Each structure stands twice: as structure tokens, then as C-alpha cells.
Chain A
Amino acid sequence: MFKLDKTEIWLVVSALVLVASAFLLPSWLTFILTLALAKGLVVQGVVIQMRAGLVSFGQGLFFCIGGYSVGMGGAFLGIHDAFVLIGLGVAASVGVAAILGLLMTRYRDIFFAMLSLALSMILYGLIVKNQALGSTDGFNVHDVSFLGWMPAGEDQKLVIFVLTVLVAGGIAIALNRYMKSGLGGVNEAIKENEIRVEFLGLSPRWILYANYLFAAGISAVGGAFTALATGHVDPEMAFWTTSGEFVFIALLGGTSHVAAPFIAAVLFALVRTYALELAPHSWQMILGFVLLAIIVFLPKGLWSLVAEKRRAAA
């Protein structure tokens, strides 16, 4: 009834290894991994839509809603349970997406990309104008409890890391199932030829709408974990450069496998932090060259390394 395929076994093993390694790895590294996996979740949201041919340049909108829900839930509503806060973020995000999705699913290609970017910049503008939310400076997220348990300082970050790994793993398995289901396959068909899909008796628009809601939900989870881990939220989360980074990581990893966004996000974070250390004055250049090299030599993303090997073996 609940049989795991090979990908899922690997996902479970990876998640367990990560959880176990939480106690071995230095805490700066678990922190980077927490942020990278949280970012990876948002990238998954971008990738889901990319498979159906839509590139969202505004996924930061839902990332930001997730983050601010955690921050505002603690600061204004007095909610301090991590799970309730994450749930709040997802509910708010999906709620917003349910309305915006009605409009968004009418557009394709560059129009979808630009409109999604515009919507996230509207949120950015609203937050910047709001002094109660600290404008561009943002505000701090209160310490949270986990079902009544409130670990202190260092342990709190460890718990958040473990939680991020487990949630990311769970979502990855769900995504893998979706990808391999019939409906998941239709996404590819929508990208190739939407009219034919209609003739098959399916409604591309509602499939895209479902994708949009799902992407909004997991992006909010990513935003919530980012807020919990860094302890601070600011409107930069909805700024177009943040959304651009998600698209970039999506391209970096490739869209063909569910693990690719996570790997790309981790790699991106590590390259960035070491580039910063090696060349504090020109780290952006190192980052740029690495990304350029990947685009030139691996146009289908990092995952093509794995795919090619497999093709050679076959």
C-alpha cells in the first residue's frame, strides 16, 4: 500500500543521514543547510510550475508571506508554537494564491513571469511603507516552542534544522509521487501543447491553478523555516532579486528530478559562503563564473550529470 520507489528510498536515507549528522556537523554548517533546504522548498515551488512551462519570477511573494506570518504571529497575535505559525503561513499563502491564481492562470510565458514579479513587488512596496512592520529594516522573530517544548539557544536551531530536513523530505516524497503520477505527466504535455491537453478532456487551467496553490504552500513553508532559523524577517524576501535567485537555483539544478533543487540550493549556499571567504571584495564574480560555467557546460542543470551517466550505462 505504501511502497517506496528507489528515489523515495534515497530521499528517506538522505533525510535520515542529515538528521543524524545534525549532531556531528558544526552548527554553522547545519545553519547553512537549514537555510539552503528552506530555499530549496521555494525552488521546488518554482520547478513545479516550470515543468508546466510557467516561470514564476515572483515566488518571493509566498516566501515572504510565510516568513512574515511567522514573525507577525509571534509579535502581534502572541502565537509561539512553531507548527501553528508554519500552518498560519501556509494558510495565508494558499489563501492569497487562491485569489491571485484565478488571474494568474489566464496568462502564459513572459506575461505570467512579469505579472508574478509585479505582484511580489506590490507586497514589497506595501511592507516598505508600513512602519509598524519596521519598513525595510524588518523585525525580529520571537523564540518559538515546539508543541509546548521550548529548547534554548543552540538547541532551538538544531530542532529547526531537523524539522526542516523532515518536512523537506516529506514534501519531496509527495512531489515525487505527483511527478510520476498521470497528472504529473500532464504538466509536461501542457508545456508542449496545451490545446491537445484540452482535447483530451482535461482542463489545463485548473491543473495550473492546483500547481500554483501547491507551489504557494511549499514556498510559504520555506519562508517560515527561513524566518525561524534567522530570527528576523525583512521585505527583501519579496524583492525581485530574491525571486530571481529561486529561478536561478531552479535552472542550476534542472527540473528533471525532485532532489535537484535541494542539491542546487545547498551547492549555491556553499559556493557563496566560500567565495565570500576567499575573495571578500569580488565574491560575486566567483559566483557569477561558477553559474556561467554550469549554464554553458550543463544547460539542463546539475542533474544532467546524473542523467548522462545513466544514459551511458544503459
Chain B
Amino acid sequence: MKRTKSYLAPTALALAAAIGFSAPVTAAENGKFRVGIVTFLSGAAAGPFGVPSLNGAKLVIDALNEGKVPAPYGLKGINGLEIETVIVDENGGASKQVEEFRNLAERHKVDAVIGYISSGDCLAIAPVAEELKLTTVLFDCGTSRLFEENKAPTYVFRTGLDAAIDNIGAARYLIDTGRKLESVASIQQNYAWGHDSWGDFSAAIKQLKPGVKVTTEQLPKLFQGQYGAEISALSVSKPDVIHSSFWGGDMEAFVLQGNARGLFDKRTAVLTCGESALDRFKGQAPNGLVIGARGPFGAFAPENTLSTWFRTAYRSSAEMDPTYPAFKMAQAILGLKAAVEKAAGKPGVIPAKEEVARSFKGLTFESVSGTVRMARANGHQALQGIAYGEYKFDAKSDKATIANVKSYSGECVTPPDGTSAADWIKAGFPGAQCN
């Protein structure tokens, strides 16, 4: 024991250093615009969100590199430079994502990062992006706390919408379509997303229709998959409306199991993330189920040249319709392109990061979901409307569509700067402009 010698420690260090220095440090000097794309490639969020968003990213980036995207994005790649991607799996927790984000910034020397579905990851990444001064576009995560915790962002932008909007929009839709709404029940996954969604929805519905009763609040754990007990509890409590922020496999399981047991007969269920399974329900969801797409995305996207092009191209490559995560990813890429090109002035150069940040701030750009204005959080958060509609399956054509769509403008459902969503709802939506 006394003769113990430890020469492995320095050896390992030398090895680590060697690997480190031999890493490909071919910065953007190769004349390409390098973008890090971070999305779930494994785990439960990969199927419903990660894979569609990556498909969308590949499609848009390939088309941009070939100069095939319709106006105003005809310029090849980003500002005439070919786009090169580094793809990272978002699975593995926030501290690992911070590690990988630093790798993207310093080892891969990317010019920008687009990504992040998990709210926890967004919260962890935002301060690091500011520290490293790296343009970062968050495309999907919905936490209201993003710009509440990071009050003075410079390099962080979010082209996706705040989750509070989903729930304010859902509450308005239920009221405006004149449904029976004496009581409401809730079923959410037991984690931050579920708690926040229900908090916003219950506050909004009570504000819009005082006296609404909450019959039951079910909080099964994430990825539980079997909802027998919860469905019984919901049925027994006899609510007029069931609200759920379930997503992915959990949502599909809940709809299938609930439908088989008649949970959705004679009452309305609203699923804020329902659209991502539009083509997957295959008639096993009840007609009249109210679903949303977390903004004007997917099946709710307005008809315009860009959205028509995107739908057609996506259908021919992935053999299915693009769902909302694909739209949101496309939107983030187009936003970044618009900002870089505005900052550059002339094609063929990569503008300084400060310039990109300055031109992204408050930018208005055309997207697959219509015109997007970066008009909240001091120009760092996109302002867009939201739409809800009813699921409708046509057995003959084996196709699901959305009926009775109602859209709300961004100003109607988004709190003004400086007010948190919770305070805004509590105060009765002051300054909301709804038509």
C-alpha cells in the first residue's frame, strides 16, 4: 500500500488535453454559417417534438442552401453563405445541456444556436448564452419565467410563444364558443409544465367567467401512461370542461383511454398541445375535442406562400403533415436568417454578433405562421396570436381536420411588457385588444 503510485491522473489529463486540442477547430473561417441545432433526439419528447422539429430544420436548411425557399428568403443559405449544422441531443438534463452549449460555442465555434424544448433547459441556457455572447434562438420552450429571470437579455431570443398564451387562448375559446361551463376539471402531468399550465388556465377561466367551479385536479406523474384511476375521478366529478396540458405519448394515451370509457361524451375537453397528434389519433379521438398548437402553427398556420411551400415540401420528404414543432423550428431559422441579413447589409459576410443581436431585437419577419413581430420582452420575445379548433375525423377519407377554428391576436392574449402573466390575468387582462 505504501508504494502506491498514481501516474494515471496526469496521463488522463494529458489525454484529455490532447483530445481537446485535436478537436476540429475549423471555425466559421470556412466561409459557412454554422448553426447549432439542439432538440430531443432520444427520450419521450423525441417522438412528438424532437423528430418533427429536426425534420423541419433539415428541410428548411437544405432548401435555403439550394436557394429554394420562396421570397423574401431567396438568398442562398444565410446571407449568401451556406449553412452548416451541428446537431445536439437535448436529452440528459440541464447541466449537461450547459456543458454542450459551451461546446457549441467554444469547440464548434457556431455562429448561432437554435433549439431547446424543455423549459428547464431554456432557463439554464439563457444566462450562459449572455455570458458567452452567442446569438441563441429558443424555438419551443414555453416558460413564462424565461424573461422574468433574465430581465435584460441581449443575445437570447424566443420565436416560440409563452405557455400562458396557450391557456389564456383556451379559456377565451371556451367562453366565445358558448359552451356549457359551470365547472371545470383538470388533469396535468406532475411537473412544472403541468402546474404552470393549470395555474394560468384556472386563473384565466375564473377571470372570464366568475363562479366557475373546479371539480377535481388530477396530477398523475410524468410518463405514467395508464390513467384508469384519473379517468374515473374525472368522470365521477362530472365537470362540463376538462382541461389538460398533456403532451406526446401521455396525451395520446389519455385520449385513447378516456374515449374508450366515454369520458368525452357530452362534455368538452381542451388539450393545449393536442395538435401534435392530429394525424396520429386516426379517429380514436372524439370529434369535438378542442385542440391547440401553442400558436398559429401546424394545422392552424395561415395560408401564405411560405406555409404552403413548407407544407408541400415537408409532406413530400416526411410523408406526413408538419405538426407545430416543425413549424416552430422553421420559424426560428427564418427569424435568424432575417436578423443576420438585416444586420449584414451586403451578402456574403457574417456580421458581428452584436450587430445580429441589435437587428434581431424588435425585428418583424415573415414566417411559415404569418408575420412575426419580436415585440415583447424588450424586443426579444415574439408576439403572435393563437388559435383553437375542434378535432374532426372523416372516416371516408381517413383524414383529420380542424373545424370551428377561432384565432386571437397577439395583443389579445399576451401580457404587456413588465407585467407577469399571472398578474395580468389576475388584474383582468388590462389593455387586451381582442376583436
Asked if A25 contacts B17 (CB within 8 A), the reply is: yes
Known: A33-B16, A280-B89. A137 touches B123 (CB 8 A): yes
CA distance A27 to B21 in the complex (A): 12
Known A6-B3, A139-B149: A226·B95 in contact at CB below 8 Å:
yes
Knowing A6-B5, A134-B145, A138-B120 are in contact, say whether A26-B20 is a contact too (CB < 8 A): yes
| B208 on interface, CB distance cutoff 8 Å | no
Instruction: Indicate if A128 sits at the interface (CB-CB under 8 A).
Output: yes
Query: Is there a chain B Cβ closer than 8 Å to A84's Cβ?
Result: no
Q: Which of B1-21 contact A (CB under 8 A)?
A: 1-10, 12-13, 16-17, 19-21
Which of chain B's residues have a CB closer than 8 A to the CB of A41?
A: none
Residues of A within 8 A of B268 (CB): none
Q: Is B119 an interface residue (CB 8 A)?
A: yes
Complex interface: chain B residues within 8 A of A277 (CB): 86, 103
Contact with B along A136-149 (1 / 0, CB 8 A): 11111000000000
- A308 close to chain B: CB less than 8 A: no
Query: CA A274 – CA B123 in complex, angstroms?
Result: 25
- Interface residues contributed by chain A, number (CB under 8 Å): 62
Contacts A6-B3, A135-B195, A267-B12; is A232 near B98 (CB within 8 Å)? yes
Stretch from B124-132, B301-309, B318-326, B380-388 at the A interface: B124-132
A186 within 8 A of B: no
Chain B residues within 8 Å of A140, by CB: 123-124, 127, 149-150
Asked whether, in the complex, the Cβ of A232 is within 8 Å of the Cβ of B95, the reply is yes
B106 interface contact, C-beta 8 A: yes
What residues of A have a CB within 8 angstroms of the CB of B150 in the complex? 140
Distance in angstroms between the alpha carbons of A56 and B16 in the assembled complex: 29
Complex partner residue of A153 from B17, B100, B131, CB under 8 angstroms: B131
Q: A11-B9, A25-B17 are in contact. Are A234 and B100 (CB under 8 A)?
A: no
Question: With the chains together, A7 CA to B6 CA distance in Å?
Answer: 6
Residues of B within 8 A of A134 (CB): 120, 123, 145, 192
Q: Does B27 belong to the interface (CB within 8 Å)?
A: no
Residues of A contacting B1 in the complex (Cβ-Cβ under 8 angstroms): 180
**Residues of chain A with a CB closer than 8 A to B105's CB:** 28
Residues of A within 8 A of B94 (CB): 138, 230, 232, 234, 236
Q: Is the CB of A263 within 8 A of B9?
A: yes
Q: Contacts A135-B195, A280-B87 hold; do A27 and B98 have CB atoms under 8 A apart?
A: no
With A21-B13, A128-B190 known as contacts, the answer to whether A234 contacts B120 (CB < 8 A) is yes
Contacts of A180 in B (CB 8 A): 1
Query: A280 CA to B21 CA in the complex, in Å?
Result: 21
Q: Is B66 located at the chain interface by the 8 A CB criterion?
A: no
A7 engages B5 (CB within 8 Å): yes
- Which residues from chain A sit less than 8 Å from chain B, CB to CB? 5-7, 10-11, 13-14, 17-18, 21, 24-29, 31-33, 35, 128-129, 131, 134-140, 153-154, 180, 226, 230-232, 234, 236, 242, 257, 259, 262-263, 266-267, 269-270, 272-274, 276-277, 280-281, 283-284, 302-303, 305-306, 310
10 contacts between A and B (CB under 8 A): A18-B13, A21-B13, A28-B102, A29-B20, A35-B99, A135-B192, A234-B120, A236-B95, A236-B120, A306-B8
Q: Other than the known A14-B13, A281-B41, what 13 A-B pairs have Cβ atoms closer than 8 Å?
A: A6-B2, A13-B10, A14-B10, A17-B13, A25-B20, A27-B102, A135-B195, A137-B192, A140-B150, A232-B127, A236-B93, A259-B9, A302-B8
